[in-house]
Amino acid sequence: MTTNQTTELNDAELSRYSRQILLPEIDYAGQCQLKASHAIIFGLGGLGSPASLYLAAAGVGKLTLVDFDQVDDSNLQRQVVHTEARIGENKVDSAKQTLQALNHFIEIETLTEVPQNAEALQKLIDEADVVLDCTDNFDSRFALNAACHATQTPLVSGAAIRWEGQLSTFDFRQAGGPCYQCLYKPSSEAEMTCSQNGVLAPVVGMVGSMQAIEAIKALLNLPTLHGKLMLIDAYTMMIRTLNLKPDPHCPICQPE
């Protein structure tokens, strides 16, 4: 994880991030911390698109983008980091072009394969200060949850379907909190996908943007949704936040 404590901002960066630096919770020191930070985004689809755009714009110094898929025309309804001209390209390459055009001050790495074994995944995640789970399947979510728990890396988890979204942050730097597997079990019913059930484009924008906010707060050690689950109903514009407690029988975060 990042240990650089000597990061400074040049005049161009001071101008670029001036509105953010004005926030007392961030200030100059916080912006320097963002510049020194490393976030990994798994999934550059509907959630990863807005999350990556806002983390890049906010000045998170290093982003690692992980996705095996290619841009398809059906993605463009909601995956706003991609363009028509990039249909057929790897999503991480397409996203990198957009993010580099947005902010040349940041470093961007890309991976077109997710490490397939737990040890390799943990090694990758151990290099980061925060992980954003923007994937769309339970297997990936369970694997990221276990790896983040093992490396004590904060995990920002978002999901969206139809008119609904959910969001939580599992900050494994704090002892005794819940994890993603406390919320969902490997034996959960078959997952729903956007391709089968549909999704309103701005819903993933809402959740992905909120993931970026949670990631920034985690990087700055500000209060997050740790121990809470946010449920979003965009149809009624109602948001509920529920307390999320550890499952005493969870094999990941509460081993006997």
pLDDT digits 0-9 by tens, 86-139: 999 999 999 999 999 999 999 999 999 888 899 999 999 999 999 999 998 899
Per-residue pLDDT of 211-253, as tens digits, reads 999 999 999 999 999 999 999 999 999 999 999 999 999 999 9
Q: Identify the pLDDT of residue 3.
A: 47
Domain covering 11-243 in this structure, CATH number: 3.40.50.720
Q: Are 64 and 76 in contact (CB under 8 A)?
A: no
Whether residue 42 contacts residue 135, with contact meaning beta carbons closer than 8 Å, is answered with yes
Taking only the tens place, the pLDDT of each residue in 25-53 is: 999 999 999 999 999 999 999 999 999 99
DSSP string, 211-238: HHHHHHHHHTT---SBTEEEEEETTTTE
CB 42 within 8 A of CB 132: yes
pLDDT of residue 67: 97
pLDDT band, very low/low/confident/very high, at 254 (cuts 50, 70, 90): confident
Measured CA to CA, the distance from residue 152 to residue 209 in angstroms comes to: 23
The overall average pLDDT reported for the chain is 93
SS3 166: strand
> CA of 253: how far to CAs of 153, 215, 223, 245, 249, in Å?
13, 21, 21, 11, 9
pLDDT band at 2; cut points 50, 70, 90: low
CA–centroid distance for 26 within its chain: 20
Question: By C-alpha distance, which of 37, 234, 252 is closest to 147?
Answer: 252
Name the nearest CA neighbour of 165 among 207, 209, 228.
207
Query: What is the per-residue pLDDT for 256?
Result: 61
Please state whether the predicted TM-score (pTM) of the whole model is above 0.85: yes
